[in-house]
Structure 1
Amino acid sequence: MTTEEISAMTLDSSLQGHISKVTIRGFRSIENIENLHLGQLTVLIGANGSGKSNLMRFFEMLSYSLKAKNLQQFVLDKGGGDDQLFFGARRTPRMEAEIQLETEQGVNEYRMALTHVAPDTLAFSQEAFRFSRHDRNGHGKWVELPMPAQESSLPAAAADKNQSSQRTARTILYLLRNCTSYQFHDTSAKASLNMRWDESDAMRLRSDGGNLAPILLYLSQEHPRRYSLIKRQIQRVLPVFDDFQLEGTGGKVLLRWRASNSDKSFGPHLTSDGSLRLFCLFTLLNLPDEMLPDVLMIDEPELGLHPHAIALTAEMIKSVASQRQVFIATQSPLMVDAFDVENILVARLKEGATELTPMDKAEYQTWLEDDYQPSDLWLKEPVG
């Protein structure tokens, strides 16, 4: 999506909303999740291999496909079509989903299906959408899109000014495009975070944090108060940190930072993995409102962080969730305990299929009154 497209769509505040309910059948370890209700903040917990991140991966796939009309590239990058289907294409030749998106005006629904096709990819075999107003009884009429197609037909429907349903298509397209998954795990020598980056790439933080340096440079120039806040938050966890040193060369900028009481500055190759992830995470969670996507999905935000940093991160996540819908997947008891039971979905693997179950506060109330934490209740449960 171009800069002009993002700006034009962001100006219309009526497009903003959240994902309220989802049904997914046949995606990776998700055999069948029916009518899963999702709140403003969702904390996904579960054992290794339980599939807790696959809910976020599904929305990542949709977002990627709709931004660039490039489902084929996503499938190629993620190992092929067979790997995206529950127990493979022989067992599950077709993936289906229904998504409910709520805005101030009403409920927007989108349903789709992807079918496995030769040699090993996926193609859209069904797409439809409808809108139902809050102030009217009943549901709107489904609009079926032309099928089959290698790529989604939703962008074309959103651009068709001659169709009365254009606004609904545009709203759904905007919201699903604006689901952004963040994973700051790769801090290796060849990671994007360690490279010089184009100064102009400063509109949105990339999912791997690769353009952190131009983002920080832009904030220091255009949002100095926000930039100062990010510095203060980092200093609360990393007292030796003084400031970033962001100097452009030939239109590119490298991430460097300066230690307090020293003239020495450090590049990413001399910075610990935990500190690099901290820089990315704290910058993301303190971005100006217009630089945030509508839906943030963060995988294992606790990775490599000190316990104090985990507690601080949780408070930032709750703050962002007051304005944006946020999903996190975590295995950290410290992170889990920072949130209310109502925010938690527990992932369990049963006969190879992921189940996502809300942690019911009423069910655990006696335990909570005896000063047990949510993580105590989670860890008491069997793994499989």
Structure 2
Amino acid sequence: MSTKQPYLSSVSLSGYKSINGVSIKFVEGLNILIGKNAAGKSNFLTFLDKAINLNLDDIFHLNAKINFNNNSQLNKIDIKRGLRFNENKKDLSSFLNILINEETNLVSKEDVQEKKILPESVFIRHGIPPQYPFLNESVSFQIDSSNKLFVALPKIISNEQLPLFVRNMAFELSWKIVTIFFGKNSAKSISSLNQIVEDVFEYCKIVQKYLKNHTPISGFRLTEGFNISQKEDEFNVTNLIFEFEVDGLWYNYRDLSDGTKRLFHIISDVVSAKEYATKKHIFLIEEPELGIHPHQYFKLLKFLKQESRNFQIIITTHSPQSLNILENDELNRIVLVENKDNKTVLRHLTQEEQEKAIEYKKDNMYLSDYWLYSDLEN
């Protein structure tokens, strides 16, 4: 496999819950972290996401070393956070040091983000996003063209807790509004604003073909109830929300099954990153199998493996079925997660374990069988 974007080649993490002295190597493309409940998979993925995106305000003592492979060039990032005495040696204050490629000059979080030194980590947690603009809540916004002001959409764009798909959609809307309403040849009218909304919806429809192939969703559209009104130089857009077609009937997002919601979340974010995002991405996906029928889950795994040609995807799982997506020469993509003495330990299969796994497959069995009938989970 060959990824077009940077990928994590190795990490060493200490300082978050059960994650202390954890070191592991990754490969480009798909990586599968598998282990029992309470092994620390979620802790590891959460810490990794925080470290990559430098969202470290709630971790007061940490040490992280992250190595990225970027077109055969290795970028090394050292992150340290802790407490130290001030000059008077009486007061303690916190510090955050970020060292790039072992250079002596320390840089700030703002420098790293502005220069886009690190890719953005997209963390898709288990469950359904509590906030999902355009899906479980309608979006409305106001444009004051005389004062060149509009609100609501920038809040969606800047909220990193929201799914990437809706952030990108809000960005597309904002960009077109700024260009058409506030540009040199501005065209301020209800019809031009309606055209913007329709154009952005076309932007979203690229996701539809993937949904048809990998989910029960055969179509989705903006509700016919959205409205655009004008009063002098003020425009109001209200009730932008999607509807979904399943088995020939149209449903609100809230009426879909949890498994279908989950499939939409994962697929729409991954496709959005590939087709429209201006940033570099690494995907961290927590337990994608939850709430999904085994047949649908295998379709999802095939999708993720295919898309991992474009960027690195790291998933955690309880499901041995996840391993069946791998070929004999891809066993280095498996990472075992264990808990030893209340600490999370990550490791790859040994050469002997890989050879045993291949022997299982020669007998018309699956990697999931090897996992279930070997002592790996013990």
Normalising by structure 1, we get a TM-score of: 0.68
Distance (Å, rounded) in 2 between the aligned partners of 1:205 and 1:325: 23
**Identity among equivalent pairs (%):** 19
SS in structure 1 at match of 2:41: coil
Q: Which has the larger radius of gyration?
A: 2
> Is residue 2:336 matched to residue 1:381?
no
Q: Kindly report which structure 2 residues correspond to 1:223-262, keeping only aligned pairs within 5 A, or say none.
A: 224=202, 227=205, 230-236=207-213, 241-247=218-224, 248-249=226-227, 250-259=237-246, 261-262=248-249
Q: 2:103 aligns with which of 126, 142, 150?
A: 142
Which of 276, 280, 290 is residue 290 of structure 1 equivalent to?
276
The structure with more strand, counted as a fraction of residues: 2
Shift of 1:221: 3.1
The alpha-carbon deviation at position 20 of structure 1 amounts to 1.0
Q: Which amino acid aligns with 2:32?
A: V
Q: How far did 1:256 drift?
A: 1.7
Equivalent runs, 1:1-384 vs 2, <5 Å: 16-34=5-23, 36-65=25-54, 71-72=56-57, 75=58, 81=59, 94-104=61-71, 106-115=73-82, 123-130=94-101, 142-145=103-106, 153-156=108-111, 170=115, 173-176=116-119, 178-183=120-125, 185-186=127-128, 193-197=135-139, 200=153, 209=163, 212=166, 215=169, 221=199, 224=202, 227=205, 230-236=207-213, 241-247=218-224, 248-249=226-227, 250-259=237-246, 261-262=248-249, 265-287=250-272, 288-291=274-277, 293-339=280-326, 340-360=330-350, 361-362=354-355, 364-379=357-372, 380-381=374-375, 383=377
Contact 1:45–1:330 (CA under 8 A) maintained in structure 2: yes
The letter of the residue matching 1:257 is F
Unaligned runs of 5+ in 1: 1-14, 76-80, 83-93, 131-140, 146-151, 160-169
Once the two structures are TM-superposed, the CA of residue 207 in structure 1 deviates from its matched residue by: 5.3
**Deviations for 1:215-259, whole angstroms, at most 9, x for unmatched residues?**
49979735859725x334434465574433445443552232245
Equivalent pairs counted in the alignment come to 313
Indicate if the aligned counterparts of 2:64 and 2:80 stay in contact, CA closer than 8 A: yes
**Contact map agreement 2:31 2:334 (CA 8 A) in 1:** yes
Mark the runs of 5 or more structure 2 residues left unpaired by the alignment. 86-91, 142-152, 174-196, 228-236
Partners of 1:31 and 1:297 in 2: CA distance: 20
Which amino acid is the alignment partner of residue 381 of structure 1? D
**What secondary structure sits across from 1:322 in the alignment?**
coil
Greater RCO between the two (CA within 8 Å, min separation 6)? 2
Task: Mark the CA change 1:301 to 1:198 in structure 2 (over 3 Å): closer, same or farther.
Answer: farther
Question: CA separation in 1, counterparts of 2:93 and 2:359?
Answer: 48
Question: Is contact 2:215-2:296 (8 Å) kept?
Answer: no
TM-score, length basis structure 2:
0.69
Mapped to 2, the partners of 1:252 and 1:214 lie a distance apart of 18
**Using a 3 Å threshold, how does the CA distance of structure 1 residues 35 and 258 change in structure 2: closer, same or farther?**
closer
**What amino acid does structure 2 have at the position aligned with 1:243?**
F
- Give per-residue Cα distances to partners, 1:108-135, cap 9 Å, x unaligned: 11112222689xx9944543222xxxxx
In 2, are the aligned partners of 1:186 and 1:208 still within 8 Å (CA)?
no
309-318 vs 20-29, which moves further? 20-29
Shift of 1:272: 1.7
SS class of match (1:53):
helix
Does the 8 A contact of 1:198 with 1:214 survive in 2?
Answer: no
